[in-house]
Structure 1
Amino acid sequence: MNERWQEIGDRVYVRRHESYDMNVSLVVGDGHCLVLDTRMSHREGADLVRAIRTITQDPWTVVNSHAHFDHYFGNAMFLPAEIWAHVRCVEEIQRSGTEQRAAVAEFSPPERREEVEEVQIVAPDQTFTDRAALDIGGRTVHLRHFGRGHTDNDIVLHVPDAGVILAGDLVEEGAPPSFGDSYPLDWPGTLAAVLHELPGEVIVPGHGAVVGRAYAETQLADLALTAEVARRAYTEGLRQHFREIPYPEEVARKAIERAFLQLDA
């Protein structure tokens, strides 16, 4: 992870960062560009701005894939650009943004605490519920919300002329999926819809290495098994079923916990 841009399709770039193993994607058109996610602080956002300027000097539109701090805390560094997200992403940032900042500062190492505390919470100003299409310098980039999964506000970007799917944290590489505020019973159907409806062989996860459809299909099967085991555990009252889930124990227990909350509701 040397934090250099990797061109994964025609003028579609990914920069993978050591911090949180986080991916930022850049789509370049004629006279305009799109930036997906802005990293976890003003300082990391400023570093990203400098990196983008090694590729293009064009103005940008920003998109936040979902309302987790590592994907939007750098938003202020991209103003006064439009920032797009799912409507629930904006609602979540407005509701919990300051709480997220305090929590991140608390668990950050001392040398990074000030960096987090200085973050200005900036929520997106452009929203949609199901789909939107952005003209990025003559290229159409589709924004889609397929349903709940990693959160209730995950969106996926499709760059059809490059055959690239920017999947956000609905797909994870290099670590298990994160179930912290997830919807494990919905996640398989959401990812299945992504893979069924969007053509493209190159898939960019929110974290980790760029993958292909075969990898995403394998992750879909694991998520489907997780949902099936969680339903059975709920019916039988046996949380011990977590051992059948193909993730480490802590991750599997969290997945069952979140699934039980869905079933209780």
Structure 2
Amino acid sequence: MSRKAFASSADLAEKEQTLEVLADGVYALTAEGDPNVGAVEGEDFLVCFEAMATPVAAGEWLAKLREHTDKPVRYLVLSHYHAVRVLGASAFDAQAIVAHENTRALVAERGMQDWESEFARMPRLAKQADSVPGLTWPDVTFSERMTIDLGGDRGELQLRYCGRGHTEGDLIGWLPKHRILFAGDLVEAQAALYTGDAFHRDWVSGTLDRIKELRAEALVGGRGAVSRGRDAVDAAIEQTRHFLRVLIDEVGAVHQRGGTLKEAFERAHAALYDEYGHWPIFEHTLPFDVSRLWDELGGVERPVIWTAERDREVWDQLQD
């Protein structure tokens, strides 16, 4: 059997990007399982959602957006702290960068290590990595909710914290007028979950329950296609929940009987592969998912910081 390339290091093919207009002044850019981004027009400003991995990559997204609107970016909203979501921030020239208060703390605690880790795992996303000027620091934070008045008859954008999940600082963007939800990596639509910094048991229950209670009519997840219609939105949420439940059940069974991390990975892989193995980044993420869940089941409350060196150690132990 040939050795698997590390994480997404061999994924070098460009993905086709699709810009969708979800409602008047509401945009989403998807790209075949690459990280999604979005934007919402206010009366005389823009709110952008996610920043991509580098200013060069972000500039390409902004060029597409500028075909529809030339309004200045007042707010850049970051759903969480991961490098491929935030390090392109300088391209937006935003008046304010907004994130949950826990996200700012995570940047301070582990932002540099995450930068090195993610760029090594996903080099294709790190387009012209030397264009990144440094860590991205939110300058507006909140704990539970922040509301942005979009002006005129455009309604409002609500930024909400629904609980710990993909990280301990994930936020969502909710447009009540259009019933459109930007969910970040708390929900994926036919793309594998990365749970290496997750709180699995919170995520699978209360956090996803709060998201589902919004009864969104369209959902932009962290990766994958836009989900349109209540049935498709609910399906994306429940696919996310099912992936987490299977992972928890399979890894938990091995942990409870005193097995090994390698056994837990093999059991989880076997249980998830038929349904999810064809999804983007499944093979990449699963070793890190199982490692974090194993720690969590062992009483490690907060995720151990991932470094480029630790990434390789876990990969070599589990995925080869």
Q: TM-score, normalised by structure 2?
A: 0.73
Q: In the alignment, which of 82, 89, 110 is matched to residue 96 of structure 1? A: 110
Shift of 1:116: 1.2
- Compare the two structures and name the one with the higher strand fraction: 1
Percent identity over the alignment?
Answer: 27
Distance in 2 separating the partners of 1:63 and 1:45: 14
- Residue 95 of structure 2 is matched in structure 1 by 81
CA distance in 1, matches of 2:242, 2:59: 38
C-alpha contact (below 8 Å) 1:172/1:206 kept by paired residues? yes
The separation in 2 between residues aligned to 1:260 and 1:114, in whole angstroms, is 33
Kindly indicate whether residue 264 of structure 2 is the aligned counterpart of residue 264 of structure 1: no
Task: Determine if the alignment matches structure 1 residue 216 to structure 2 residue 237.
Answer: yes
**Which amino acid is 1:238 matched to?**
G
Counterpart of 2:181? 165
Instruction: Choose which of 153, 164, 179 in structure 1 pairs with 2:195.
Output: 179
1:180-234, Cα deviation, whole Å (9 max, x unpaired): 22222222021122112x1212111111111222232232233233323333333
Specify the code of the residue in structure 1 equivalent to 2:23. G
Aligned counterpart in structure 2 of residue 45 of structure 1, from 51, 58, 74: 58
* Structure 2 equivalent of residue 116 of structure 1: 129
The answer to whether the aligner puts 1:65 opposite 2:79 as a matched pair is yes
221-230 vs 160-169, greater mean Cα deviation: 221-230
Cα distance in 2, alignment partners of residues 254 and 98 from structure 1 = 18
Inter-CA distance 116–246: structure 2 relative to 1 (3 Å threshold)? same
Is the CA contact 1:101–1:116 (under 8 Å) kept in the aligned structure 2?
Answer: no
State the alpha-carbon separation in 2 of the partners of residues 241 and 108 from structure 1: 25
Q: Counterpart of 2:37 in structure 1: which amino acid?
A: V
Please tell me whether residue 15 in structure 1 is matched to residue 21 in structure 2.
Answer: no
Q: Which of residues 218, 234, 237 in structure 1 aligns to 2:255? A: 234
Residue 246 in structure 1 maps to residue 246 in structure 2: no
- Greater relative contact order, per chain length (Cα 8 Å cut-off, separation 6+): 2
Distance 1:264 1:36, change over 3 A: same
Q: In structure 2, what is the equivalent of residue 255 of structure 1?
A: 289
Deviation readout 1:97-126 (Å, 9 max, x if unpaired): 3333334454565x9878213312221110
Deviation at 1:62, TM superposition (A): 0.9
Question: 1:54 aligns to what SS in structure 2?
Answer: coil
Contact 2:57 2:127 in 1 (8 A): no
DSSP 3-state at the match of 1:182: coil
**2:272 alignment partner, SS class:** coil
Cα 1:105–1:226 change in 2 (3 A) is: closer
User: Which of 158, 164, 171 is the equivalent residue of 1:148?
Assistant: 164
What is the alpha-carbon distance in structure 1 between the residues aligned to residue 296 and residue 177 of structure 2? 38
TM-superposition CA deviations, 1:46-104 (whole Å, max 9, x none)? 22222222221212211001111111111111234111101111122233333333344
Q: TM-score, normalised by structure 1?
A: 0.87
Counterpart of 2:209 (choices 192, 195, 213) is 192
Q: Which moved more, 1:95-104 or 1:20-29?
A: 95-104
Q: Helix, strand or coil for the counterpart of 2:187?
A: strand
